[in-house]
Amino acid sequence: MKTTFLKIAFLSLSILFLSSCSSNDESGPEIIVEPPVIVPTDPLTTQNVTTYMVDANATKETVALFYNLKKLAKTKVAIGQQDAFNSYYQDNGGDSDIKKNTGYDPALLGLDFMFITDKNNNNQADNWFYQQEEKMVNDVKAAYAKGMINTFCWHLREPNKEDSFYAADMTADQKATAFKSILPGGANNEWYKKKLDKIASVVLNLKGSNGELIPIIFRPFHEFDGSWFWWGANFATAEEYKTAYQFTVDYLKNTKGVHNILYAFSPDNSYTTEANYLSRYPGDKYVDVLGMDNYGDFDNQVQAGATKANSKLKIIADLAKTKVKIAALTETGYQVTSTKTPITNWFSDYLYSALTANNIEVSYVMFWNNTKDGYYVPNSSVANAADFKTFTAKPKSALVNSLPKMYELPK
């Protein structure tokens, strides 16, 4: 009986299936719906990070920094300042002015190789330049221990007298020849290599409490699209600029064996198109961070300036998605002085909209340093202190307390 019942049930289902198919045939041809192809917006995984990095042999902490900075941009923008631990408005020492205002340290500390590579640095304890080097090394270690990110620029003094990095302080002949002279085969290439030797020596001695190398971001030859520095656009062809940048990376990475650096590319704000931005780009194999320095668009241009800045940031943010790189506003600010008053809501409205409008993904923003006579970041006692505090409390803003563990890959 059981077998007969199963046969009848099977026949009934078969007839039902056939009639169903027949019914579909009568209503027209069968429509096959293909499942949608989902293209990931970010192909980066914890397994393939070094595929997208300059240094395939980067230390694990440096790999983690690249990965976490890239992922951070989806939800947060890390906020930092140049020389935050030493540069205070009105020389009011102690905590950074950011911490005085908000209660938290910045997420990012900016430093400079300028004094480290100065001709007057003789590596002796009583030497002022060497003391600055020691102070910076200690600042890097302190920032790393707090979970902050360290980034270095380099105001390298020109190779003739080594007195200035500004083109305005050089003769016409010096301006025409200085940058070319540091290229491979140039008269000052050996001089330049000695400067890189010094950088390598310092970076290879930046170590955490467990002896691990501390990662840094290095931003050589910044604002190269202007001509205020001796490496600027008027003094080097695009190919010469690319050659110098590539030589710098290759020498540190391959010749000196430095594997705790991410490399940043950062013109000023003169570009308006992707092609213009990339006109001096040394290539994906040489760049981890796509940056921009931008003061001009924020200099009292209110929302119109913020919109211009956002459109330029969108160019690099879109490139960073395509190339799987990090996008950043590598320098910015509006300096308040005794003769230059604050702009109402400069931080919380204009800067924040520049960093976040149009769903752009920017990993960090860095303000320039405060001085005795002026400030880019307000401490707790000035007129626009509340504006900055409001800015840091916004959903996409991150001081050090909002950062993930930047030097560990997520499990």
Q: Which domains does the chain have, with CATH numbers?
A: 57-402 (3.20.20.80)
3-state secondary structure 261-290: EEEEECCCCCCCCHHHHHHHCCCHHHCCEE
Instruction: Say if CB 306 and CB 350 are below 8 A apart.
Output: yes
Question: What's residue 306's pLDDT?
Answer: 97
Beta carbons of 165 and 156 less than 8 angstroms apart = yes
Contact predicate 290/328, CB 8 Å: yes
223: Cβ contacts below 8 Å, ≥ 6 apart: 229, 232, 266, 267, 268, 293
> Catalytic residue among 223, 239, 274, 361, which?
223
The torsion angles phi and psi of 74, rounded to 5 degrees, stand at: -70, -25
Confidence at residue 34, expressed as pLDDT on a 0 to 100 scale: 63
pLDDT at 200: 98
Instruction: Establish whether 30 is a catalytic residue.
Output: no
Q: State yes or no: is 223 an active-site residue.
A: yes
pLDDT at 28: 52
What residues contact residue 90 under an 8 Å CB cut-off, 6+ apart? 372
Packing angle of the helix pair 172-181, 238-250 (nearest 10 deg): 50
Instruction: Point out the catalytic residue in the list 239, 331, 361, 408.
Output: 331
Closest CA to 167 of 267, 234, 237, 243: 234
Which parts of 91-179 are beta strand (E)? 108-112, 149-153
Residue with tokens 């050090």: 400
* Backbone angles phi and psi of 142, in degrees to 5: -65, -45
Rounded CA-CA distance 246/351 in Å is: 33
Q: Distance from CA of residue 254 to its chain's centroid?
A: 22
For 108, other C-beta atoms within 10 Å of its C-beta total 28
Tokens of 220: 């050589």
SS3 (DSSP) at 159: coil
Q: How many residues does the chain have?
A: 411
Please report, for residues 66, 319, 393, the alpha-carbon distance to residue 213 in angstroms, rounded to integers and kept in the order given.
15, 30, 32
User: What is residue 402's three-state secondary structure?
Assistant: helix
Per-residue pLDDT tens digits of the chain, which is 411 residues long = 444 443 434 434 343 333 334 334 444 555 666 666 554 566 999 999 999 999 999 999 999 999 999 999 999 999 999 999 999 999 988 999 999 999 999 999 999 999 999 999 999 999 999 999 999 999 999 999 999 999 999 999 999 999 999 999 999 999 999 999 999 999 999 999 999 999 999 999 999 999 999 999 999 999 999 999 999 999 999 999 999 999 999 999 999 999 999 999 999 999 999 999 999 999 999 999 999 999 999 998 999 999 999 999 999 999 999 999 999 999 999 999 999 999 999 999 999 999 999 999 999 999 999 999 999 999 999 999 999 999 999 999 999 999 999 999 998
Position 322 scores a pLDDT of: 97
